Amino acid sequence: MYLEIRKAIYGLPQAGILANKQLREKLEPAGYYEVAHTPGLRRHVTRPVQFSLVVDDFGVKYVGKENAEHLIQAIKAAGYEVVIDWEGELYCGISLRWNYEKQHLDISMPGYIEKILARHKHVPLKHDQHSPYKAPPKKYGISAQEPVPEDTTDKIDDKRL
């Protein structure tokens, strides 16, 4: 499940701590508390519900839809608008594909690598290169045990060029 909070004050340095304090005050009467040694993780006193809040995204783990509904009602009663994604397909910009039968989760960030390469103006090579260095030639027999030659390439300067 994925929730999103709207109408936050972005850019205000105190916004995060103020929102956290307000959320704590409004959800404590419903039985939700922050876990002592894991900042940002909250649980319910008796229900099998826990959630994290990152900026305006809630990631909720629950057992039984009625327990998730309890959290949703507590958030709505606190005066927040709630948008719900029961499939939980996006959290903090990360795409999530759940496979409950095989008990695994695939995570990805579609387009992320392409954006980074474009930002750094990376020019692709003509041939695939899956390592930053050229592989040493393969040796067989007794010569395979000879030491690898010493690296004589120039060191990186202060400008990293």
Going by C-alpha positions, the residue among 45, 40, 34 that lies closest to residue 57 is 40
Which burial class, exposed, middle or buried, applies to 4 when counting CB atoms under 10 A from its CB (0-12, 13-18, 19+)?
middle
Q: Position 9: which residue type?
A: I
Q: Which residue did the predictor score with more confidence, 27 or 155?
A: 27
What is the reported pLDDT for 33?
A: 92
Confidence class for position 8, pLDDT limits 50, 70, 90: low
Check the CA dihedral 72-52-20-12 and report its sign. Answer: negative
Kindly report, residue by residue over 85-114, the tens digit of the pLDDT: 888 888 888 899 988 899 999 999 999 989
60 by DSSP, 3-state: which? strand
Angle CA 143–146–152, to nearest 5: 125
What is the reported pLDDT for 32?
A: 92
Q: Rounded to whole angstroms, how far apart are CA atoms 9 and 136?
A: 55
